[in-house]
């Protein structure tokens, strides 16, 4: 892929970039996205049936098992070239913030340090009542494991539809987007709020907005630059073009 020289020059001078990532970044690791036709998780399941507090109240075991299945899928995969390209950016620029909607933990596994996991982390488990985190639990009882402190049902520490994001995380993400000089939106359909609005917050404050995505999104026509392609290919190419790596 070729990148416009003026973008390369601009990115070479960036000191405070932000990247927002979504499920597309982990697709090349072997994880399923949510909204891709046919292969996305939400093409097969309804979000409100599996990723909402109501669903958990209705049938906690179904939800626990679904997340246990996804947890195992995540354990079986490794970061890809897109994740590692973001680690390089963190090393190359003074202040880089990585905001992810992904709950798979692959950015940290790749080596990124300054990561805001807006939607939580699927490997963390907490009590649905008293919020205490559980390091271990008994999975062999045939029912949803319970909190050792209060007896409440355990659940994954992810943000479900209809739930608020953790306040400090969201505030840090908004602040980073408002203060950045370059904003990358990578592998996300950009339809889930509040994450989707971050690119616009950055753009309104004068940051250059660069999208890398396999297909067009609502952001594509609003971004300063949009590249259609796989993040595991396009991101390393961009990093190489900008920083000669």
Residues identified as active-site: 119
| Least distance CB 49 / ligand APR (angstroms) | 12
Q: Is 78:29 a contact under the CB 8 Å cutoff?
A: yes
Nearest alpha carbon to residue 166 among 109, 105, 121, 203: 121
Residue 150 CB, nearest approach to ligand APR (Å):
27
Does residue 119 bind ligand APR (CB under 6 A)?
yes
Figure out which of the listed residues 230, 236, 238, 242 binds ligand APR, where binding follows CB under 6 A. Answer: 230
Backbone angles phi, psi at 28, to 5 degrees: -75, -5
Residue 234 C-beta: closest distance to ligand APR, Å:
8
Is the CB of 151 or the CB of 216 nearer to ligand APR? 216
DSSP string, 112-168: --SEEETTEEEEEEEETTT--EES-----SSS--B-TTT-PBEEEEEPPTTPPPPHH
Contact call for residue 97 and ligand APR (CB under 6 A): no
For residues 32 to 51, the per-residue mask of contacts with ligand APR, x marking binding by CB under 6 A and - elsewhere, is -xxxx---x------x----
Q: Which residues of 31-63 are buried (b: 16+ CB within 10 A; e: fewer)?
A: bbbbbbeeebbeeeeebeebbbeebbeeebeeb
Tell me how far, at minimum, the Cβ of 15 lies from ligand APR, in Å.
26
188 binds ligand APR (CB under 6 A): yes
Q: Which residues bind ligand APR (CB under 6 A)?
A: 22-24, 27-28, 33-36, 40, 47, 101, 119, 187-189, 192, 213-215, 217, 230-232
């Amino acid at each position: 892929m070729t990148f416009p020289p003026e973008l390369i020059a601009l990115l070479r001078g960036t000191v405070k970039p932000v990247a927002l990532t979504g499920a597309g970044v982990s697709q090349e690791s072997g994880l399923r996205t949510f909204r891709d036709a046919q292969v996305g998780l939400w093409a097969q399941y309804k979000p409100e049936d599996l990723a909402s507090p109501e669903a958990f109240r209705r049938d906690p075991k179904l939800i626990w098992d679904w997340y246990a299945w996804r947890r195992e899928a995540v354990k079986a995969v490794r970061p890809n070239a897109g994740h590692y390209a973001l680690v390089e950016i963190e090393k190359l620029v003074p202040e880089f913030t990585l905001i992810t909607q992904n709950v798979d933990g692959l950015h940290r596994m790749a080596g990124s340090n300054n990561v805001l996991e807006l939607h939580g982390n699927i490997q963390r488990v907490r009590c649905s009542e008293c919020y205490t985190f559980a390091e271990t639990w008994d999975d062999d009882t045939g029912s949803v494991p319970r909190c050792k402190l209060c007896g409440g049902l355990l659940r994954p520490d992810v943000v479900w539809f209809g739930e608020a994001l953790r306040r400090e995380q969201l505030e840090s993400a908004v602040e980073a987007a408002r203060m950045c000089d370059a904003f990358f939106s990578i592998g996300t359909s950009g339809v889930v709020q509040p994450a989707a609005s971050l690119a616009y917050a950055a753009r309104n404050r004068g940051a250059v907005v660069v999208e890398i995505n396999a297909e067009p999104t609502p952001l594509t026509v609003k971004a300063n630059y949009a590249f259609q392609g796989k993040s595991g290919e396009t991101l390393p190419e961009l990093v190489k073009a900008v920083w000669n790596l």
